[in-house]
Structure 1
């Protein structure tokens, strides 16, 4: 079987089962009650919308930790249940940033690689929306070369001593914990060898967090400094030296799912409503509506297929990378398409809120292909999966 044939088979269309689909009406009702008057330009910040109270309400309603076992406070569902809930949250532009990383990847990582004490302590708090996590991967001067980690944890008589720096750490300033990939042996030249993961309480002495303001004026990124930070033995997650294998599995969760499709979707909905109010009925508008519909339908089908692989217990690194690359290309193109369309119809009145939304997403869209792995890194993974390198 060729690599291309295997790819088509692994991404074969599948459907979401009725029990999981039944969650859709419930989460829609929750969203309607929780955020009835949210402005369009605020909803466009869904990924960056940090609202701890909203996340706690999600936890209280049972919409966090859906795939975790009930004994840890989870819902006991499969990956499709989370797909349904996440899809509805993003389409509505709900503020998901507070719980996002913990629910999506920190919790599965702790479940799969943590010890029982770590599971019992962290997982119920994540499910309740009471523990927020950030990811400590990227470092200064490394670009997307994750294997060149220099931040180091040295074993002491008791515990570990951590020194180094992480950068582009999303929501570090508002998070409770970081799961960091650090070096515990060897040097940066050893690449994937000698790496380990640690759960770090961000209130620990020796940690300094500095927000990074982006082009839009938001500051969800941060740089984090570790200066002789003392960690207990219980901070190590999984096996020392197995960090690369663990983080690779974690990235499959980060790069899959509907979150790689819907970053600009509230703008698409608003534009369709705009052209309907304007009474447009021209071929160019119909063609753009058709293009948006066809692309989102195709990407959603592929994303559901990746979710099916997760449900089978697989780690679809290759397939998730493909969907993430195609999905972020669509997300980045959408604000440009809509901006060009509005510019081609200067006679139409554009609501200020709609205008602010177009401006915001046009400014933030370049970051879509950076978070979760740059396009260049992803295409390298795709090329290896196809046997091209």
Structure 2
């Protein structure tokens, strides 16, 4: 059972220099848009793949911020990274290429990886030149990660991997991913035992990546099939049999960040801009105020979790709360936006409010699914509170 402090991490303040860093990032983003390099979009951390942009962030020192300098990073804190991430998402910038690697792969390598693994991957993550996916979910398993059927069997010099992973964002572009697989039978009915994580080169013989297109026609999800793929012993992440513990620690980074409530912020900003051109009535001003209040509350919670992570904690329960509330709120933003500024979503539109509305509506069914369904997350919270 978690303690009250683990369930509700204490509020934290942003570090000295955060305001200047924010101004610097905003200035860069404004310059990028002025030159027409990209247009703001909703869900940019999944749908905005732009390797040029990621490499530019790396050049400016805004990737790998929490990676130690000995591995090519910048040795800064998680809250500095939070400021940069918040500005990128609020602007709807194309961050998908580096997103997973910078958000959760790098911290996991620092916590569980070998020296060889760190030296191989961390410098490229910090420079925006190495991209990762996540190999957790499987067909017919939903959010029940413990039911994985992908198996790795011992062979000379490593492991032979067979199985399938789904919803692997960016796998068709990524260099590698972390795969949660079974390396030993479950013991005494404990399905969490016998699971391990392997670092799989997605260009290895036997790996097939199949696209899973969205209703919008966009392609960032994939099915990845392993047909007797060889993974050397050097690419086992952490300890054999400890995959479940490692994955749950990793999910704290995935579930608590600002992307869990800012995916639809570019739409909200466009709605505010449209309303500012007129004279919104009292009801619309009230609904705007309510959304802003919710944003502020979720941000405070998310920053508190970032502070706990920065201090070396693993607040899985608090992260689950942020994800549950944040992703439900993202859909609420769409519903309120349609009332505030009625537009007909036009998928063929090239930009502007109509296009963002169309993308938001079509992406919204996935908000409460990715990173674990909200029903699963509520079970995590209940167990954390000792209620089940």
TM over 0.5: yes
Partner residue, 1:173: 172
Counterpart in the other structure of 1:44: 42
Partner of 1:194: 194
Give the drift of 1:232. 1.3
Write 1 or 2 for the structure with the bigger share of helix: 1
Kept in 1: contact 2:15–2:80 (CA 8 A): no
CA contact (8 A) 1:40 1:357 kept: no
Partner of 1:242: 242
Q: By how many angstroms is 1:343 displaced?
A: 3.7
Alpha-carbon distance between aligned partners in 2 of 1:3 and 1:228, rounded to the nearest angstrom: 41
Q: Deviations over 1:247-304 (max 9, x none)?
A: 1110001011211110000111110111111x22311111111111100011111111
Return 5+ residue gaps in structure 1 as ranges. Answer: none
Q: Tell me, in whole angstroms, the C-alpha distance in 2 between the residues paired with 1:160 and 1:271.
A: 52
The whole-number CA distance in structure 1 between the counterparts of 2:141 and 2:165 is: 10
Distance in 1 (alpha carbons) for counterparts of 2:121 and 2:3: 40
RMSD: 2.2
Q: Structure 1 residues 192 and 168, CA, compared in 2 at 3 Å: closer, same or farther?
A: same
Which stretch of the first structure deviates more once superposed, 111-120 or 186-195?
A: 186-195
- Once the two structures are superposed, residues 198-217 of structure 1 have per-residue CA deviations (whole angstroms, 9 ceiling, x without a partner) of 11111101010001011111
Residue 25 of structure 1 corresponds to which residue in structure 2? 23
Distance 1:140 1:4, change over 3 A: same
Q: CA deviation at 1:6?
A: 4.1
Whether the aligned pair in 2 keeps the contact of 1:302 and 1:323 (CA below 8 Å) is: yes
Specify the SS of the correspondent of 1:179.
strand
**Distance across 2 between alignment mates of 1:300 and 1:125:** 30
- Partner SS, residue 291 of structure 1: helix
For 2:286 and 2:152, how far apart are their aligned partners in 1?
55
- Measured in 1, the distance between the counterparts of 2:167 and 2:136 equals 9
- CA drift of 1:235 comes to 1.4
- Distance change (3 Å), C-alpha of 1:160 and 1:226: same
Distance, in Å, in 2 between the alignment partners of 1:39 and 1:283 is: 38
Q: How does 1:268-283 map to 2 (within 5 A)?
A: 268-277=268-277, 279-283=278-282
Q: Equivalents in 2 of 1:117, 1:51: separation in Å?
A: 28
Q: Partner residue of 1:294?
A: 293
Give 1:26 shift: 2.0
Measure how far apart 1:344 and its partner are.
9.6
- Say whether the 8 Å CA contact 1:59–1:129 is kept in structure 2: yes
> Does structure 1 residue 319 correspond to structure 2 residue 318?
yes
Distance 1:169 1:82, change over 3 A: same
User: Within 2, Cα distance between the matches of 1:364 and 1:37?
Assistant: 27
- 1:167 and 1:336 mapped to 2: Cα distance? 29
Cα deviation code 1:178-227 (max 9, x no counterpart):
11101101159651110111111111010100010111111110000000
SS state at 2:292 partner: helix
Provide the C-alpha distance between the structure 2 equivalents of 1:351 and 1:67, rounded to a whole number of angstroms. Answer: 36
- Say how many residue pairs are matched: 382
Deviation, structure 1 residue 366: 1.5
User: Which whole-Å CA distance do the structure 1 matches of 2:132 and 2:2 have between them?
Assistant: 36
CA distance in 1, matches of 2:193, 2:220: 31
State the alpha-carbon separation in 1 of the partners of residues 234 and 141 from structure 2. Answer: 28
1:21–1:81 CA contact under 8 A, matched in 2: no
Q: CA deviation at 1:102?
A: 0.2
Distance 1:26 1:133 in 2: 27
Consecutive unaligned residues of structure 2, counting only runs of 5 or more, are none
SS in 2 for 1:57: helix
Distance change in 2, residues 1:368/1:96 (3 Å) = same
